[in-house]
Amino acid sequence: MTVITFGTFDILHYGHIRILKRAREMGDRLVVGVSSDTLNERKKGRKPVYSQEERLAILTAIRYVDEVFVEESLELKRDYILQHKADKLVMGNDWAGKFDEFNDVCEVIYLERTPSISTTSIIEVVKGIPENL
Ligand code: C2G
């Protein structure tokens, strides 16, 4: 059973590890599509802190991850699912409902997002911006 998930995974944190662990436990192989730097800039309007090569290397080193590839475009999601023969697509529930169209080629599952942690909040702490401003 192959599981696929997608994301930027910039400044890897506990929320990322938890979704990777839970996704991996839903099958016996986890493939991760890592957003390219260009896709991330389009999506979020800023460059990731870690380059795509660094993010790929970090994800490759995680025990729950069996394979990584670069996600170049959101429009190619169906092709990626088919190419990697994924049985399940797992995403955090900030994406709830957004990928239901792929239900015809795989099971689409949204897992609860881990509260109180995000790449953006880490960047703000590192920059020294008070959280409640
Ligand atoms: N996540 C989580 N808990 C958090 C933060 C993130 O469960 N506190 C999950 C997200 O729901 C997502 C994954 O970790 O499933 C990766 O998060 P991001 O790097 O923010 O990915 P994103 O930019 O949302 O990219 O094609 C879809 C996109 O590429 C998803």
Residue nearest to atom 14 of ligand 1 (CA): 16
Q: Which residues on neighbouring strands pair with residue 75, listed in sequence order?
A: none
Residue 10 token pair: 């910039």
Report which of 75, 95, 109, 114 is spatially closest to residue 3, judged by C-alpha positions. Answer: 109
Question: pLDDT tens-digit profile of 26-59?
Answer: 999 999 999 999 999 998 898 999 999 999 999 9
Q: Which of 58, 94, 116, 123 to mutate to test the pocket of ligand 1 (most atoms within 8 A of CB)?
A: 94
Decide whether any atom of ligand 1 lies within 6 Å of the 27 Cβ. no
What the block records as the tokens of 127 is: 């920059």
Beta-bridge mates of residue 5: 32
**Ligand 1 pocket, residue 7 CB under 6 Å:** yes
- Domains of the chain, residue spans: 2-127
Distance CA 54, CA 111 (A): 26
2-127 maps to which CATH number?
Answer: 3.40.50.620
Distances 131 to 79, 121, 126 between C-alpha atoms, Å: 40, 8, 11
Between 121 and 61, whose confidence is greater? 61
pLDDT band, very low/low/confident/very high, at 132 (cuts 50, 70, 90): low
Which atom belonging to ligand 1 lies closest to the Cα atom of 10? 19
Span 50-75, pLDDT tens digits: 999 999 999 999 999 999 999 999 99
Average pLDDT over residues 117-131: 83
Ligand 1 pocket, residue 8 CB under 6 Å: yes
Q: What residues have CB less than 8 Å from 110, skipping those under 6 apart? A: 90, 91, 92, 93, 95, 96, 97
For ligand 1, whether the C-beta of 9 sits within 6 Å is yes
